[in-house]
Structure formats: structure tokens, C-alpha cells
Amino acid sequence: MILTLVVLLVACVAIALVAGNLSFGAKKGSVPNFEVHQALTADARSMSFPIRDPLYPAGWKPNSGRTGNIGDDAVSNVGYITGDGMYLQLSQTNAAEPDLVSYLDTSQQEEAQPVMAGGRQWVAYAYANGNKAWTTDLDGVRIGLYGKASDADFNRLATIVVQTQPISKQAVGPMPTG
């Protein structure tokens, strides 16, 4: 009976491996695909503040997104893997800047300093855990960039976001029912 179970187990593992449904560890370089434009368009429909959908740089890959709350305020988050393979998140919210900064990373801040990107002043925060955050206010919407990407990639995304007009509520229409 035990021998029969062993044979069945080996057969199941072999079938799963052949079908591609079983792997041991993540495949190197595999980044989940995320439909960033669809997500930000949905956020523009549902959120009370303007949402921007920046055209991310060539070689970057959107890999994640979610909405949430910062206290009573909504937040839209999308994440990218940069050309260097580092993570960089874009957050858009109507929450106050100190609340956004705490939301992005709860670890101890080491420093905050002004930086210029896209013709606007941002506040750059460094955290004890090695992460960084940049924040600015665009027409009443707090924009936050967060991750371990290079300063050049932070600057690149910051500039693109500043140059991007908010998604028009008229263009996206109401939330679909259904």
C-alpha cells in the first residue's frame, strides 16, 4: 500500500512539472505583469481627487497596484520595476504629507531634504532601512515616490508625473455597474 502511494505521488509530481504548474523557487527575472493604465483609470473613476497615469520609461515594468486608506483619505498605489531591477512605487492621495510619509514607511527617518525634479520642489526622505521617499503636492494631491531605486530613477519618475495631466473624469465615465 505504501509503495502504491509513492508511485502515485511520483506520477503526480511528474505531471505537475510537465504541465508547468509546479516549480521550485521563483524564476529569476520573472516579474508579474500588471495593467497599470486600467488600474489608474479605475482609481480616477472612484477617487475624489485627480489621478495621473504617467507613461513609465522604456525598460520599466509595472508589477503591482492597490488602493487603500491613510486614515479617512484614499490612496492609489502602483509599483514598477526599473531598468536596474529596483522597485519604485507611485502613490497618489488627498492625505496630508506627514500622513503620506508615515504610510510609505514606518521606520525611522534619517533625513529629509529638498530636491528639484520636473521643475518642482520635492522633499526627499531617507529611512534607516535604506528605503527612500520623495513627496510633493500637485494641485492639492500629494504625490509620493517610494522604494530603493536610484536617485536618477526617482528623478525620472518625478519629472514624468509632474508633466502628466490628471485623467479626465469625463473621459473615463462613471464606474461600470454590474
pLDDT at 26 (0 to 100): 39
pTM, to two decimals: 0.79
Gap between the Cα atoms of 177 and 162, Å rounded: 32
What value does the mean pLDDT take over residues 127-132?
91
Inter-residue contact 92 to 141 (CB < 8 Å): yes
pLDDT at 159 (0 to 100): 98
pLDDT at 21 (0 to 100): 46
Q: What is the mean pLDDT of the chain?
A: 86
Gap between the Cα atoms of 18 and 9, Å rounded: 14
Q: What angle do CA 151, 126, 113 make, to 5 degrees?
A: 80
pLDDT, tens only, 94-115: 999 999 999 999 888 777 999 9
What value does the mean pLDDT take over residues 57-83?
96
Gap between the Cα atoms of 21 and 119, Å rounded: 49
Gap between the Cα atoms of 74 and 100, Å rounded: 11
Q: Where are the alpha helices (DSSP H) in the chain?
A: 2-19, 36-46, 97-104, 151-163, 169-172
Residue 158 pLDDT > 60: yes
Residue 16 pLDDT > 50: yes
Gap between the Cα atoms of 127 and 155, Å rounded: 18
What value does the mean pLDDT take over residues 156-164?
98
* Domains of the chain, start order: 49-166 (3.30.200.100)
